[in-house]
Structure 1
Amino acid sequence: MTTPRRHLRSWGALVAAAALTVLAVNGPTTSGATFTSTSSATGQVTAAADWTAPTVAVTSPGSTVKDVATIAVEATDAESGVAQVTLEQLAPGTDSWVTICTDTSAPFSCSWDTRTLADGTYSLRARALDRAGLEATSTEVRTTVANKLFVTLDAPGDDVRGTVALTTTVHSAGSLTHTVRLEYAAADSTTWRTICSGLKSPYACSWNTTSVTSGDYELRAVVVDSLGRTVATSAVVEVTVDNVAPSVAMVDPGSPLSGTRTFSATASDAHSGLELVTIQYAATGTSTWRDLCAPTQEPWSCRVATSTLADGSYSFRAVATDNAGNTTTSAAVTQRLVDNTVSSVSVDGPDFMTGTVTVTAAASSTAGVARVRLQYAPDGSSTWTDLCTDTAAPWSCAWDTKTVANGTYSLRAVMVDGQGRSLTSAVDPGHRVDNSPLRGLDVQTANGGYAAGKADSGDTVTFTYSGVVAPGSLMAGWDGSARNVTVRLRDGGLLKLGKTDDTLDVQTPNGGTVHLGQVNLKGDYVRSGRTATYGSTMTATTQTLTDGTQRTVVTLRLGSVTWYQLTNPRTVKTTGTMAWTPSATALDTLGRPCSTAVVNESGAADREF
């Protein structure tokens, strides 16, 4: 369902007073505008009598339709009533919805003339608009238009291994005597080979993928008449065959282990890509392995408080799983000692730091802990500066990072136990301080298209800056209003990155650079060595918080694919955390450049688009 659009109608000055009261009670809010602002001594606050969007659903016409089909739509609105219902179709292989008809009176329905359409599987949806201007969109219903003989081959999935069941449907065969042959070809080739032939309804076939080399392949179904002539061929289905297990090695976490430590593995997969790496532990002398953590993207590591394990000797190993389901277990790193009962100290702090942050330490000693001193130093330096000395748990300091230059810093903690003995923690490097006047805050995607996990028309990408950006620094002559741009998705291999490091950037329609920087999508959205481009729109708004702080939000809305090598982009089924590297060419309204510090997508890891 799409988010309802709300139109406001006047209730007069009484509502204005009530609205101001609500704002005061509910606290900070944000508002959006396109680089314009107005002020007035008097004003009017308006509100709508109907705040509830209508409900709408398309009645399925069945698995197949032909000729002229009547498509019924159920739409209701308990408050202002339904003003109109619009029924739309999405043709196979396209990203643009086309209106079939608009009905303004119940019962709502449309006559769908499929005789002018190409046979294939279509999606149907309905949009309902109520009399208050609120709109809702139904979930999609799929049906196959079959006015003449044609054949469809169901996709077995993006990544396959072992023996795969293939499903074929022959439509509108009538009295024709026929069989089906299933074929495969290596991607980008025209050499088709038979998987199985002579199939009769239900056209069942199994493909033993171990008979081919792992890699990208295309599948199709061919209908053959009684004389052996080809009478119909299905659309091509793309798959990646992966019968090769990934490689993985456990990194030695060291010994003894205490406090919060990093556990990591190295792993790779040449075909379908890695889905996750599970790091496991087992007490020495046992064969019972338990999960310690399961990172789903590089680096394959996690920070774990070793105090969650009982003191003693352990083995550690890593299990890598690729997107096709192949797994590999690393050799174990054995006899690593966990000891949190003697004196131990470790330090922890945010990877990215701006303003005032909290730096913490974990400290313990059988002699008791008298105090902990927390320190920092520029990475690569041996000159340590005290942040604070804490005499009671939890051991922590508030660090005003504006007092130091932007850059990366190391942290450490020095513990003094109850008998006056000191112990210094391991150095924890790589904490980036960035207090640039303008920097990236967040990057997010939203699915507004046909398929979740696949970049298609209607999807959005949102970039949030810490302050107000001069829009002309992003694109010459731009004022923040809707502007046509080209969104480009490139395979990570083209940029000498990993298989799941496909990258998004933005260009002007004539190929010039839009200075948003680039986003590592942390997923495999286009196949190896390929690029996809989308005709898109870009807008910028200024959000104003109740404390007066302003920031720019740039939104990309993807349109149809304008160019792609051979086939459509992939559907990604794993989660990830995008990484946005802003461009220093972006300037704030005072002409100061944006920080190029990498901005990781906030919130829980999810499927993009």
Structure 2
Amino acid sequence: MSSFRSPVALALTLLAGLILTSTPQLSSAAYVATTTATAQVTAAADWTPPTVSLISPASTVKETVTVSATAADGETGVRDVVVEYLAPGASTWTAICTDTTAPYSCAWDTKVLGDGPYSLRARATDLAGYETTSAVVGTTVANKLYIELASPGDAVRGSVPLSVSVQNAGSLSHTVRVEYATSGSTSWKTICTNLSSPYACTWNTTTLVAGDYDLRAVLVSGSTSTYSAVVEAVTVDNLAPVVTMSDPGSPLSGMRTFSTTATDTGSGVEQVVIQYAPASTGTYRELCTITAEPWSCKVSTATLADGTYSFRAIATDAAGNAATSLAVGNRVVDNSVSSVSVEVPAQLTGTVTVGATASASAGVASVRFQYATSGGSAWTDLCTDTSSPYSCSWNTTTVADGLYDLRAILTDTAGRTITSAVESGARVDNSPLRGVDVQTANGGATAGRADAGDTITFTYSSQIDTTRVVSGWTGAARSATVRLRDGGVLLRSGKEDALDVLASGSTVNLGAINLKQDYVKSLGTVQFNATMTAGTVVVGGVTRSTVTLRLDSVASGSTRLRTVSAAAAMIWTPSASVTDLQGRACSTAAVTETGTTDREF
């Protein structure tokens, strides 16, 4: 919702029984208003949340330190800023202070806390009641003798640099060693020993069996040993992926799909780069970079000069191992002839726009769009467009829900025609109740990693009967279990980890989310204790139901979590067991996360 101003007093009468409040900042989502039933509403002149950022303190702190934040609001002004910390292993943020005047700062007494890594954040609220949470920053509290081993990463290969920090050793005579053990065992072996400042060494992983390992550092002073926290489940992977370039065909013209197959049994494929090389030079250049399955991309071959080319793919796993496919050569790009390809939206609901890319050496006279029942041969015209960009509006409510094929027919100025490849299996779904969006918000310690404090929000197209989500549920806060499973557990790729919701003694009918990234290590399962609540949002005058899950503590599988660096759009498949207030079942059509593609959690 965009902000607005009026030079005169603005008064709105909203529906009795609605109250306007702010929602949490969801990843990639625009601000919407939530509603609850019990109060009269007046309109606020301020629709824009404040801005806030926490000034990062030193990497290591002790005793009492000042923690500061900056906050601003160009409309009603900042009401207050709350500075909070998250203790190691905790699931709840603790307030350090609330400051109502700039500069916003707190005196943080760390002497009463245990040593270890802490997360800090600031929450700013403006005078209209809208709130924004800053990005999380980290620091280490060290008031006593403290040793910390820096994590080398979730997945490593070859020779791995290791770094240890020691705090408050003073004049104490000591040495440091670093150890490893098979993940979950207590059989510790030495990587390096007798280290003195700056406490660094190299871990040669090439002699190890691929798998997960725990690491720790030990400070030795005489007969006394002080241990660091264990860095758990570091994946050792020295095996490169397997990648094959698919034949794109020849001749190539118009919009074409370039595909590969890529697998990795260790840390998982992180990205695939498809390259092309003109036969005249043999020098490869990037055609596209893909960070999620399927390992394919659509590219307009008109961006390449007509000629003969070779194509290949390079796959890189999470540990940094790379493999290059064999090249597919002698493929001709020729856009001097007519070409046309049809582009179909991912969701066919209501009125949608179907597009086409078309070119012809003689000039394009028109592009005609057609559809047919999937697999059928009776084609029906949608429209004919005579000017670029070629597109057609399709009111999908005029056809029955189901699967459809679409194609485009180009006619050049000489009267010759060419028909595009068929885009098959597009689903039309105009169910009264459907999922419209799924979003996550990072409220935990680490961006790109599932943490306590993170939230997942499901949004429906209208209000739902909450008793059909969980039997007897009113929408009030209740406990649930959020389960994350590696894609391999479900016989999918490791880049297609799944999220679903469970509850003791009850089925939770929220369907499942394909996270489209690798948040859980190979064949792993992680379960979080969670809190589930229902609410409503008003979008375009329509009241919609939301269900939000807030992750609490890890119930099981904490060592199987991974931190994701690449962005992806989640896909939610709702459950048909949920109904609207009239008892109509929810569509099971897949819902792709809206907004800018980002890292979840």
Shorter-normalised TM-score: what interval?
A: 0.7 to 0.9
Alignment pair present for 1:535 and 2:539 = no
Q: Judge conservation of contact 2:471–2:506 (CA < 8 Å) in 1.
A: no
Distance in 2 separating the partners of 1:596 and 1:88: 40
Alignment pair present for 1:160 and 2:156 = yes
Q: TM-score, normalised by structure 2?
A: 0.85
Partner residue of 2:349 out of 350, 354, 361: 354
1:416 CA displacement = 4.0
Q: Judge conservation of contact 1:577–1:605 (CA < 8 Å) in 2.
A: yes
Partner residue of 2:399 out of 379, 401, 404: 404
1:220 CA displacement = 0.9
Partner residue of 1:443 out of 402, 421, 438: 438
Instruction: Tell me which residue corresponds to 1:231.
Output: 225
1:496 CA displacement = 2.2
Instruction: Tell me which residue corresponds to 2:35.
Output: 33
Partner residue of 2:488 out of 493, 508, 516: 493
Q: Judge conservation of contact 2:52–2:122 (CA < 8 Å) in 1.
A: no
Report Cα offsets for 1:32-85 as digits up to 9, x if no partner. Answer: 214x377xxxx77365899985978568477242xx535465788899999877
Partner residue of 2:338 out of 339, 343, 354: 343
* Change in CA separation of 1:581 and 1:111 when aligned onto 2, cut-off 3 Å: closer
Alignment pair present for 1:251 and 2:218 = no
Q: Judge conservation of contact 1:259–1:340 (CA < 8 Å) in 2.
A: yes
Instruction: Tell me which residue corresponds to 1:522.
Output: 516
Instruction: Tell me which residue corresponds to 1:555.
Output: 548
**Bigger radius of gyration, 1 or 2?**
1
Alignment pair present for 1:216 and 2:209 = no
Partner residue of 2:289 out of 291, 294, 306: 294
Instruction: Tell me which residue corresponds to 1:24.
Output: none
1:140 CA displacement = 5.4
1:607 CA displacement = 0.7
Larger mean CA deviation between 161-170 and 130-139 belongs to: 130-139
Correspondence list, 1:443-462, <5 A:
443-462=438-457
Report Cα offsets for 1:514-535 as digits up to 9, x if no partner. Answer: 1111111122222233332333
Residue type of the partner of 1:596?
T
Instruction: Tell me which residue corresponds to 2:180.
Output: 184
Instruction: Tell me which residue corresponds to 1:414.
Output: 409
Q: Judge conservation of contact 1:544–1:550 (CA < 8 Å) in 2.
A: yes
Residue type of the partner of 2:544?
R
1:453 CA displacement = 0.7
1:460 CA displacement = 1.7
Identity of aligned residues (%): 55
1:343 CA displacement = 3.0
1:16 CA displacement = 1.6
1:146 CA displacement = 3.5
Q: Judge conservation of contact 2:54–2:122 (CA < 8 Å) in 1.
A: yes
* Change in CA separation of 1:465 and 1:87 when aligned onto 2, cut-off 3 Å: closer
* Change in CA separation of 1:72 and 1:378 when aligned onto 2, cut-off 3 Å: closer
| 3-state secondary structure, aligned to 1:94 | coil
* Change in CA separation of 1:528 and 1:391 when aligned onto 2, cut-off 3 Å: closer
Instruction: Tell me which residue corresponds to 1:581.
Output: 573
1:297 CA displacement = 0.5
| 3-state secondary structure, aligned to 1:478 | coil
Distance in 2 separating the partners of 1:154 and 1:409: 54
* Change in CA separation of 1:312 and 1:534 when aligned onto 2, cut-off 3 Å: same
Alignment pair present for 1:118 and 2:114 = yes
| 3-state secondary structure, aligned to 2:553 | strand
* Change in CA separation of 1:605 and 1:111 when aligned onto 2, cut-off 3 Å: closer
Residue type of the partner of 1:348?
E
Paired residues, number: 577
Instruction: Tell me which residue corresponds to 2:19.
Output: none
* Change in CA separation of 1:146 and 1:265 when aligned onto 2, cut-off 3 Å: same
1:230 CA displacement = 5.5
Correspondence list, 1:505-516, <5 A:
505-508=500-503, 510-516=504-510
Q: Judge conservation of contact 1:59–1:71 (CA < 8 Å) in 2.
A: no
* Change in CA separation of 1:504 and 1:377 when aligned onto 2, cut-off 3 Å: same
* Change in CA separation of 1:409 and 1:471 when aligned onto 2, cut-off 3 Å: same
Report Cα offsets for 1:228-253 as digits up to 9, x if no partner. Answer: x4612211113222222111111111
1:166 CA displacement = 0.7
1:591 CA displacement = 1.2
Gaps of 5+ in 2: 1-7, 16-29
Q: Judge conservation of contact 2:356–2:408 (CA < 8 Å) in 1.
A: yes
Q: Judge conservation of contact 2:266–2:522 (CA < 8 Å) in 1.
A: no
Q: Judge conservation of contact 2:49–2:132 (CA < 8 Å) in 1.
A: no
Instruction: Tell me which residue corresponds to 2:21.
Output: none
1:552 CA displacement = 2.2
Distance in 2 separating the partners of 1:512 and 1:258: 54
Instruction: Tell me which residue corresponds to 2:270.
Output: 275
Q: Judge conservation of contact 1:179–1:198 (CA < 8 Å) in 2.
A: yes
Larger mean CA deviation between 402-411 and 127-136 belongs to: 127-136
Alignment pair present for 1:169 and 2:165 = yes
1:456 CA displacement = 1.4
Report Cα offsets for 1:96-127 as digits up to 9, x if no partner. Answer: 2234566889996546262x543323334566
Partner residue of 2:189 out of 193, 201, 210: 193
Alignment pair present for 1:379 and 2:370 = no
Alignment pair present for 1:593 and 2:589 = no
1:254 CA displacement = 0.8
Residue type of the partner of 2:550?
R
Partner residue of 2:563 out of 567, 571, 574: 571
* Change in CA separation of 1:600 and 1:288 when aligned onto 2, cut-off 3 Å: same
Partner residue of 2:309 out of 314, 319, 331: 314
Q: Judge conservation of contact 2:181–2:214 (CA < 8 Å) in 1.
A: yes
Q: Judge conservation of contact 1:502–1:521 (CA < 8 Å) in 2.
A: yes
1:506 CA displacement = 1.5
Instruction: Tell me which residue corresponds to 1:502.
Output: 497
Q: Judge conservation of contact 1:58–1:140 (CA < 8 Å) in 2.
A: no
Q: Judge conservation of contact 1:454–1:572 (CA < 8 Å) in 2.
A: yes
Distance in 2 separating the partners of 1:247 and 1:76: 49
* Change in CA separation of 1:587 and 1:231 when aligned onto 2, cut-off 3 Å: same
Instruction: Tell me which residue corresponds to 2:20.
Output: none
Alignment pair present for 1:429 and 2:424 = yes
Alignment pair present for 1:207 and 2:203 = yes
Q: TM-score, normalised by structure 1?
A: 0.84
Q: Judge conservation of contact 1:87–1:110 (CA < 8 Å) in 2.
A: no
Residue type of the partner of 1:33?
T
Residue type of the partner of 2:262?
A
Residue type of the partner of 1:517?
G
Alignment pair present for 1:605 and 2:600 = no
Report Cα offsets for 1:304-354 as digits up to 9, x if no partner. Answer: 222222222211111112222222211111111112212333322223212
Larger mean CA deviation between 391-400 and 288-297 belongs to: 391-400
Distance in 1 separating the partners of 2:369 and 2:51: 58
Instruction: Tell me which residue corresponds to 1:23.
Output: none
Q: Judge conservation of contact 1:266–1:300 (CA < 8 Å) in 2.
A: yes
Larger mean CA deviation between 99-108 and 233-242 belongs to: 99-108
Q: Judge conservation of contact 1:54–1:130 (CA < 8 Å) in 2.
A: no
Larger mean CA deviation between 210-219 and 116-125 belongs to: 116-125
Q: Judge conservation of contact 1:58–1:126 (CA < 8 Å) in 2.
A: no
1:189 CA displacement = 2.8
Instruction: Tell me which residue corresponds to 2:460.
Output: 465
Correspondence list, 1:37-48, <5 A:
45=42, 47=44
Correspondence list, 1:67-146, <5 A:
68-69=63-64, 71=66, 73=68, 88-100=84-96, 109-110=106-107, 112=109, 114=111, 116-125=112-121, 142-146=138-142
Distance in 1 separating the partners of 2:328 and 2:524: 39
